[in-house]
Amino acid sequence: MDPRLHRFSAFYFCYYAALGAYTPYIGRWVDGLGHGGYVVGGMLGLWYGTRIFAPPVWAALTGRSARPGRWFLAGCLLTLLSFAGFLFTREAWAVLAVMAVFGLFYNAVMPQFEAMTLTALGPRPDLYGRLRVWGSIGFLLVAGSYGALMDRFGATSFPLLSLPLFLAMLVAAWWHRDDTPPAPAAAADAGGHLWRRPGVRRFLLVALLMQAGFGPFYVFYTLHMQAHGHSGAAIGGLWALGVLIEILMFWQAPRLIARFGAGALLGACLAVTVLRWLLTAFFADSLALMALAQASHALSFATFYACCMQLMAGFFPGRRAGAGQSLFFGFSQGFGGVLGAAMAALAWESAGGGALAFTLGAAATALAWAIWLARRQFRT
């Protein structure tokens, strides 16, 4: 791999290391401030909601710039400054207000960076997984260690403990300040709205439903495991297993894509994920089966995401890459995330509990699989 690509690995590492602090522990911090479930839910809703609006707005600002790297650096600086606002907030309204601003910037920069990465890879988008794997490593190291740090320093220490990670992200972004914009798309790709490109709407719907299927996992997996008698250490081990498998698969993804093609692999990922959520719904008492289900994260997340990036490079070449990434990010992780979280919460509060929540996750993924199998114009 070209040594110049290592700076992309560094930013993935720092960005997802910060996410490894935010995702598992923001709820614990809010609870430590004395707020209830409505505020925690509001934080989650704002997190996913800003994923819908931030990427397209940011893409509109950066898409025509001759210095997109400077916009990217500014976005990371604003992410750091807005997160620092958590140091000075305690009241519910203030916490939610800072969350809204922080989410707008933090969720805006990654789609732009994904486009920059695909542009740098040029004719080798299959190497994406070997860069993205460093994000998984960063997430694993922080998510696995920050719980102990918060045990020692208290839940309210979360903003102070996490701020250095966002500073590191800004430093990693500095290396990209002079990145050039992608080359113009070929004439054959110049016409038509993004939505009208062959296969794009089907692809986005599949990605949305896959993300919705993950809703119960991201929101209630730990509680579901606890309800079935697993210890905190066992649950932590299951989380770690999933991320470790994810890391290994990101490294191998280029070879698999080159051998089988992104289209065929994407279908396999959807099928395996349906089985994963059904196992989690109905066999949560078995630690062995839960370990097997977590091992499938290699396909459910790592391979699926690498295949998506391979397909995105074909759907949105050249200067369309930034707008395409914002569309993908907002549609799948934004709308899909909101839909999945709402679906999971309603199921969890019903008599069906975790079993119903994960069954609905399997149903959403099965629908995505059916849409995938019925495709006619999908390019791979």
Q: Which residue has the higher pLDDT, 112 or 123?
A: 112
For residue 218, name the pLDDT band (cuts at 50, 70, 90).
confident
- What are the pLDDT digits (tens) for 300-321? 888 898 888 888 877 776 666 6
What percent of the chain clears pLDDT 70, i.e. is strictly above it? 86
What residue type is 98 in one-letter code?
V
Model pLDDT, residue 153: 86
Model pLDDT, residue 198: 60
Tokens at residue 314, please? 């074909």
Q: Which residue is it, tokens 């486009």?
A: 115
DSSP element (H, E) containing 253: helix 232-260
Model pLDDT, residue 85: 95
Quick one: CA dihedral 158, 218, 272, 348, positive or negative? positive
Radius of gyration, alpha carbons of the chain: 20
Domains and CATH numbers, the chain: 7-181 (1.20.1250.20), 194-380 (1.20.1250.20)
Distance between CA atoms of residues 146 and 139, nearest Å: 11
Q: Which residue has the higher pLDDT, 288 or 351?
A: 288
Distance between CA atoms of residues 361 and 343, nearest Å: 8
Q: Which residue has the higher pLDDT, 177 or 187?
A: 177
Angle (CA) 288 289 295, round 5°: 95
Query: Above 90 in pLDDT, residue 181?
Result: no
Closest CA to 130 of 255, 17, 16: 255
